[in-house]
Amino acid sequence: MGRFAKGFAFVCICSGAYLPATAQITITSADVSAKLAVGNSSVTHTDTVTTSLNIGSPGGGNTWTFSGLLSHFTAALSSVAPASTPYSSEFPGATHALKSTVTLYGFTGDFYQYLILSTNLLNPGSMAGAATVVGAVTMKTTNAPSAVTYGLPATYGTVWTASYTETEVFALDGSPLSAPTVTNYVDSAWVDAYGTMVIPGGGAYDALRVRLVTYSPGKHVGYIFMAKNGASVQVAAASTTSPDFGVIDVDTLSTTWTGPTSVDVAVAGAVPTEYALLQNYPNPFNPTTEITYELPQASEVRLSVFNLLGQEVALLVNAKEGAGAHTIRFSGTGLPSGVYLYRLETDHFIQTRRMVLVR
């Protein structure tokens, strides 16, 4: 599988508060550690139809508007302790791990991305496993040495490189099903721009742009836009000769976006005892407001915004989320003044509240 097709679901599990628009930010090891805390979660969406995007330009003052990206596939990731995973012995140096659900040979199983947070954020590899009618199927990916996810602290002007060999092995009950797939990678990355990133649902966050050039052995060019709160957008240029500014053609199989990381209340305090949809704040608002909801247990969540005609104007959350309090920023940019309804739907709870957008 190609370097960019694998996606960067784990790249932007970062931390921090919302800053004034277009501020130059720095993502530190402490930021990453805070957002990789056990219990935190994020959802990565894949857009399979968008063919071109405006990637802005090198330098500051950018506004990257990705609000039109769609969600055709989702992957929910939760932070877990490496020692609690069934494959911890395969990656003894891992300091953090992310868990998701995958399908192997038509069977559902668990996927674990292992990470090492040191001077940089490193990716030693991953492991996935599923029980089938003929035995346990596993897919193990190892990077030697560990790949550099990104250099830390990450800020405008940060540069990092990495050369590593990726080995991928499929096995049945521990016995390889075929010869290992071995790929050599050489990465060169630099943070070449900063600005404001707008993602689907209207969230607007200060962000950095990373330009990543990979040889494996062919050349691949991609961009990662990442905010301190975990929101991110990742695209791969369809052509290696594309300019590093303006509208470019993108690989539709490698366009992903991730909303802000949800911090589980269990990490910082007591888990809510009941479902709740709180009043947005501020209210009235112009143009952004925050919506908080509480889950006493892990649930499928759909949080959407409607106008008074019953038309859905924004889908803010559509994924399974862990127990805790979750806060989503909503932007009314492009919407007329008026009363809007926001609706929370879970496995066992539905509630609707009103909010007012005033220009």
pLDDT in tens, 336-355: 999 999 999 998 899 999 99
Q: Check pLDDT > 60 for residue 16.
A: no
Q: Check pLDDT > 50 for residue 85.
A: yes
Q: Check pLDDT > 70 for residue 314.
A: yes
Categorize the per-residue pLDDT at 39 as very low, low, confident or very high, splitting at 50, 70 and 90: confident
Please tell me the predicted confidence (pLDDT) of residue 323: 82
Please tell me the predicted confidence (pLDDT) of residue 263: 67
Q: What is the 3-state secondary structure (H, E, C) of the chain?
A: CCCCCCCCCCCCCCCCCCCCCCCCCEECHHHHHHHCCCCCEEEEEEECCCCEEECCCCEEEEEEECCCCCCCEEEEEEEECHHHCCCHHHCCCCCEEEEEEEEECCEEEEEEEEEEECCCEEEEEEEEEEEECCEEEEEEEEEEEEEEEECCCEECCCEEEEEEEEEEEEEECCEECCCCEEEEEEEEEEEEEEEEEECCCCCEEEEEEEEEEEECCCEEEEEEEEECCCCEEEEEECCCCCCCCCEEEECHHHEEEECCCECCHHHHCCCCCCCEECCCECCCECCEEEEEEEECCCEEEEEEEECCCCCEEEEEEEEEECCEEEEEEEECCCCCCEEEEEEEECCCCEEEEEEEECC
pLDDT in tens, 153-183: 999 999 999 999 999 999 999 999 999 999 9
In the chain, the domains with their CATH numbers are 26-258 (no CATH), 265-357 (2.60.40.1930)
Please tell me the predicted confidence (pLDDT) of residue 264: 56
Please tell me the predicted confidence (pLDDT) of residue 15: 31
pLDDT in tens, 205-224: 899 999 999 999 899 999 99
Q: Check pLDDT > 90 for residue 266.
A: no
Q: Check pLDDT > 70 for residue 2.
A: no
Mean pLDDT of 128-139: 91
pTM for this predicted structure:
0.71
Mean pLDDT of 82-90: 93
Categorize the per-residue pLDDT at 152 as very low, low, confident or very high, splitting at 50, 70 and 90: very high
pLDDT in tens, 219-249: 999 999 999 888 899 999 999 999 999 999 9
Please tell me the predicted confidence (pLDDT) of residue 148: 96
Choice between 6 and 328, residue whose per-residue pLDDT is larger: 328
